Structure 1
């Protein structure tokens, strides 16, 4: 990108159809309907943002956004299937069944005293409904790669900030001063990490260098928005790369402070290996078009924090069963202050954790009860995940893998031939919590001493 590209946006680079390679057959028919209807209504409309960027590199966008000089009210007048949303950014959603085409009016960087623009004391942008030209709209977008406009007038791509070259060079570059842009919206740091991981782009040095020192600004971001950003980051097929990028940019501690602390003190590296394997498995399931659940994802991401809290409580002498529930509640509560994890995900996440010690039990009644538990399959998959980084649970994994495939009578006979094995994790000298496994196994139950009967002795 050259300085000219931003200092003189009124002279755009126009890339003709023969050079950019974007074909209408790769664009959503509904997005094309919106563009043509806007044109027929006397307005200018452009396909913009990630869809244009992805089409240029041969991708297949799922979402198609449109930018126009029509106001939201004018868009609504053109489409009966339109609804207006938003306060911070007023948008029009044109609904075609399950597909929504988002239509935004060109916006401008206005004076700070405008009634339609509101910023917080820390520089965060709270409301911005100041409309402008396409040139204004291009300059106020976050990354140059997202500021490309495709038009159905002549099927060209318009570039006002140097984004076309950045996309070809696979570089992610912020528009404007990076420090100011991150202050306006700290979530842009996460977007930079996510897009770099998703697209295999390099973040330009001037955009990457300030991030570690500004990561704490994420604590002021709405927890619900951070949850949505996490879903985009970890449930879109590039979870492992996103995690590594968060580590590289110093953002992991800003998103998952307790997990980052646990990973830093885990000398064996087993906990980190397990988290990375979980993200790798998630990517593989998405690639195979298999379902994934945020509950299992967050169970893996927060497992190091849970193990660390559990080890601390056990060293304090807290009853093991009480310590397990208390550690689960603590981790969930602390994480919710940063990321708003809904109860429909946090409760199954805790169940997955609390079922782990029960895999060490071989008592007939408890074995059959665990097999019938509605969360058994998720908990077993989590045990399998733990075994990938902690070989000491391999015996439990082998037993339960066979138990699922045995007839009840066969399994009952097998259990009758074996006495309950000694619980792992009680061996002398083993430090609970060092690799997260000793602290998470079932505690060894002490044999209760029978009380003497009235009038008799203790041996009677």
Structure 2
């Protein structure tokens, strides 16, 4: 964070050469940063064989924000087969978006080939479903989602590519699209969710243009496969800033694609935010967080239910969830088991208690139950 404050102080000086000063300071930060040893090996070998190769996106962005990157992604002009020819420890994965995974002991490096846009027309349902049209570095730059993710760094020549003023937007703490927001969100509606996630997780703001575009295009998320929405749902709520992401989701009305409309009122959403905070602060087992957050979304409803209508209300709400997201079966079973462990006294509840006790279900249910009682307590207080 000190790095960010230093860069921000340069911008505030208003000097004529501030842009060059910011870039040179950023290069110095990147030069002294601790990059992935495996990633450095990949870039060095690709370049040695005549290919371009760069660290890109989140790892460059996070280092400049003074954060520790979770992943070190690489882009190159080498095709997937050319990459696997150079690395015996590499495999090709993905259909919609082909990638190469290279394993170095405990490190997994993800390598993508430069892509280019398809030049699709911008109608309400035409989205990118297949994304393996390869291109040049310039093609790849223009198709990136946000300016802060279009920062390419070559650790060998120590060169930083910033065609779209990503540094400037990063220092201004603003999420800004590359190109016309409405067009970028039509190409891939999931970018709207990512914009909100980045803003919440990294303590940034959404540009006014992005907020307007989300308001106009949010209904396109109805065309996104449920399984893909669930992936984004996990990313939104598996970190310490989850409640801020939730609040931004609520403000931009994107939350309606994750929570049934029965729960979307001011009192309920306030309660959900508090429960999310509790879950994140007290849960040390990351793989259970999606289950717990889903549970947090349901918990506020309990205060409204009488003993006679508990079961029907729960099933109605849960069916509404399943219509929005492709919730994995173990989590679905765990949520039902937890609900009836602490709520139901009816004979109908036994059909859930007798579900197969698979390991994933037992483990997830155990941790969910621990927080369920707290969630219910918070819900009743509100």
TM-score (ref. length: structure 2): 0.82
* DSSP 3-state at the match of 1:236: coil
Alignment: residue pair count = 346
Counterpart among 40, 46, 51 of residue 32 in structure 1: 40
Structure 2 residue runs of 5 or longer lacking an equivalent are 1-18, 346-361
- 1:296 Cα shift? 2.1
Consecutive unaligned residues of structure 1, counting only runs of 5 or more, are: 1-11, 114-118, 315-319, 360-372, 392-434, 436-460
In 2, Cα distance between equivalents of 1:248 and 1:111: 32
Structure number with higher helix proportion: 2
SS of the residue 1:75 aligns to: helix
State the alpha-carbon separation in 1 of the partners of residues 234 and 323 from structure 2.
Answer: 17
RMSD across aligned C-alpha pairs, in angstroms?
A: 2.8
The answer on 1:354 being equivalent to 2:357 is: no
Q: Is the 8 A contact 1:324 1:354 kept in 2?
A: no
Could you tell me which residue of structure 1 aligns to residue 380 of structure 2?
390
Bigger Rg, which one: 1
1:159 maps to which residue?
162
Q: Tell me if 1:341 matches 2:327.
A: yes
Measured against aligned partners, the alpha-carbon deviations of 1:119-160 in whole angstroms (never above 9, x if no partner) come to: 997121111222221111111110000000010232121111
1:330 Cα deviation after fit? 2.7
Give 1:298's aligned residue. 294
For residues 358 and 338 of structure 1, do their structure 2 counterparts lie closer, same or farther at Cα, with a shift above 3 Å needed?
A: closer
CA deviation after TM superposition for structure 1 residue 26, in Å? 1.9
Which secondary structure state, in structure 2, belongs to the residue aligned with residue 26 of structure 1?
A: coil
Pick one of 278, 281, 290 that aligns with 1:281.
278
Tell me how far 1:96 sits from its aligned partner. Answer: 2.2
Number of the residue aligned with 1:183: 186
How far apart, CA to CA, are the structure 1 residues paired with 2:139 and 2:335? 45
Counterpart for residue 223 of structure 1: 226
From 78, 95, 103, the equivalent of 2:103 is 95
Pairing 1:237–2:223 present: no
Q: Report whether the alignment pairs 1:47 with 2:77.
A: no
Q: Is the 8 A contact 1:285 1:291 kept in 2?
A: no
Shift in alpha-carbon separation, 1:124–1:305, aligned structure 2, 3 A: farther
* Residue of structure 1 in register with 2:371 after alignment: 381
For residues 25 and 376 of structure 1, do their structure 2 counterparts lie closer, same or farther at Cα, with a shift above 3 Å needed? closer
Find the aligned partners of 1:378 and 1:67 in 2 and give their Cα distance: 39
Tell me the alpha carbon deviations over residues 317-350 of structure 1, each in whole angstroms, 9 at most, x when there is no partner.
xxx2xx4333333322221221111111111112
State the SS of the aligned residue for 2:55. strand
How far off is 1:354 after superposition?
2.0
With over 3 angstroms needed to count, the CA separation of the structure-2 counterparts of 1:133 and 1:124, relative to structure 1, is same
SS at match of 1:94: strand
Query: Could you tell me whether the CA contact under 8 Å between 2:173 and 2:205 is conserved in 1?
Result: yes
Distance (whole Å) between structure 1 residues aligned to residue 367 and residue 92 of structure 2: 42
Structure-2 change in CA distance of 1:333 and 1:155 (3 Å): same
Shift of 1:25: 4.7
Is contact 2:56–2:151 with CA below 8 Å preserved after alignment? yes
